Amino acid sequence: MYINILNEHSCIRVPSAFFIEHLLHLSDRQIRIYLSIVAAKSGLFDDLIGTISSELGITTEDAITTINELSQLGLINVSHSDGDSMLDICFCDTAFLSNSSDSYSSILERAERIKGSPLNSTEISVFLFILDTLLFSGELLLCLLEKCKAAGKFGSEYIKTVAINWHDNGIDTIAAADKVWGIHQNSFRNFSQNNNIDFAELERQLLDN
């Protein structure tokens, strides 16, 4: 489990174990460095050690020492080369591992480009629900957003309802989404003159048939 911290256009995801099991027992430096690592892994900056050292006003050696302490506490995993050089930092929490190739911030950035304007907090919350609860891949979510945008139906509730329908009907690949979307859009066109049609409900009914 994790807690999503939303700022204006992006999201930082903090494993809930940090708050529940560790927060009261960590030093100020450990807390600040851990949250800096979370921010880096959320895509907010690239040079992890350099940024931590600069922002917190500590030496690189002190930053590395604290990172190793966090590793010993089980909050992160640290990979080393044959020597002492630090290669990579990853989280023990599966919420971070599930989208290791495409950070949540980068997914939200791409979603914002599809929308054509900044995402609001409701949209971000809906997209995170689709990723985390419905277990959509980043690419499947973006596929859904592109289809909704092209159809002129980019409302959060519509997107959420269609995503739930896809999930409930086992549509978990882009190929399956392409197939069902093409069939359903042909049905939608028959109702294009009726502004009172609930397209999300129609989508559900079509999937159920």
pTM over 0.75: no
From 38, 66, 97, the end of a domain falls on 97
Same domain, 139 and 199: yes
Write down the residue that tokens 């809906």 correspond to: 126
Same domain, 33 and 80: yes
- pLDDT (0 to 100) of residue 95: 43
DSSP track, 177-189: HHHHHHHHHHHHH
Same domain, 180 and 112: yes
Same domain, 82 and 138: no
Contacts of 168 (CB under 8 A, 6+ apart): 207
Same domain, 118 and 52: no
Same domain, 116 and 41: no
Question: CATH number for the domain including 59?
Answer: 1.10.10.10
Same domain, 6 and 55: yes
Structure-block tokens of residue 187: 């049905």
Same domain, 148 and 189: yes
Least confident among 101-105, 112-116, 182-186: 101-105
CA atoms within 13 A of residue 195's CA, in its CB half-sphere: 0
In this predicted structure, the answer to whether residue 79 has a pLDDT above a threshold of 90 is no
In this predicted structure, the answer to whether residue 207 has a pLDDT above a threshold of 70 is no
Q: What is the average per-residue pLDDT within 20-41?
A: 86
Same domain, 17 and 89: yes
Q: What is the average per-residue pLDDT within 144-159?
A: 92
From 97, 129, 145, the end of a domain falls on 97
Same domain, 42 and 80: yes
In this predicted structure, the answer to whether residue 176 has a pLDDT above a threshold of 80 is yes
In this predicted structure, the answer to whether residue 83 has a pLDDT above a threshold of 90 is no
Model pLDDT for residues 84-100, shown as the tens digit of each residue: 555 567 766 544 444 44
Among 10, 73, 77, 8, CA closest to 37: 77
In this predicted structure, the answer to whether residue 190 has a pLDDT above a threshold of 60 is no
- The whole-angstrom separation of Cα 70 and Cα 64 is 10
Rounded alpha-carbon distances, angstroms, from residue 15 to 56, 79, 137: 22, 20, 19
- pLDDT (0 to 100) of residue 147: 93
Angle at which helix 199-208 crosses helix 156-168, to 10 degrees, equals 10
Range of the domain at 86: 2-97
- The whole-angstrom separation of Cα 171 and Cα 158 is 17
The larger pLDDT score, comparing residue 188 to residue 78, is at 78
Structurally, the chain folds into a number of domains equal to 2
From 97, 114, 138, the end of a domain falls on 97
Q: What is the average per-residue pLDDT within 130-155?
A: 91
